[in-house]
Amino acid sequence: MGLPGIAIQLVDEGNSESAVRFLSDWVCDGEAQACRYLSGHVEPDGISLIATSGRDAVGYAAIIWESNYAGFRSRGIPLVHQISVSEPWRRRGVATLLMDAAEQRAADRGITTLGITVGLFDECGPAQRMYARRGYIPDGRGACQGQRPLSEGTQVRLDHDVIIWLTKELTSRQAGAAPHRGMSAPRP
């Protein structure tokens, strides 16, 4: 699937300023926090991808090769740690392109299973549906507060810490993924 004018790029020295600006605006509290966040999502620990429209970053995704979630780490399952799209670009296919690129990067490394989390409240509905359509399934522990499974009757505040952990079995060449040519979306 292509999206005219959108390119997916690995974050490097040439575009890290755009990534920091995007993270500052949409993910982190300020530039200093965005720089720290980005530094935790680069090789060898992980990768960061940005979706760009011209010179503007409109989306971001990160993979951590070794998850801090024991259920994933013990099975060698990396974690898609962040996926974010700026408000004007949501529901236009940018997140799909980012996920295609993230899954392909993982498959290119020989990874057979990829993990992700999703929140439970209504704001997360579009992400829940996208992950289900892509083949992500719950890891079987039910709703968790962070890494702690929630038992029946447990009362918690429903926020970004209440999640479900999901996994997907990858193929060597992701079905429906954009061709790998420079990580850019194909032009029509």
Residue boundaries of the structural domains of the chain: 6-175
Class for the domain spanning 6-175: alpha beta
- pTM for this entry: 0.83
Output the pLDDT for position 47: 93
Output the pLDDT for position 173: 52
Output the pLDDT for position 2: 65
Output the pLDDT for position 55: 84
Output the pLDDT for position 188: 33
Count the Cβ atoms, other than its own, within 10 Å of residue 111. Answer: 16
pLDDT tens digits in sequence order for the chain, 188 residues long:
567 889 999 998 777 888 888 788 788 888 887 888 777 787 889 999 999 998 889 999 999 999 999 999 999 999 999 898 998 898 999 999 999 999 999 999 999 999 999 999 998 999 999 999 999 999 999 999 999 999 999 999 999 899 999 999 998 554 444 433 333 333 33
Q: What is the DSSP string of 76-125?
A: T--EEEEEEE-GGGTTTTHHHHHHHHHHHHHHHTT--EEEEEEE-SGGGH
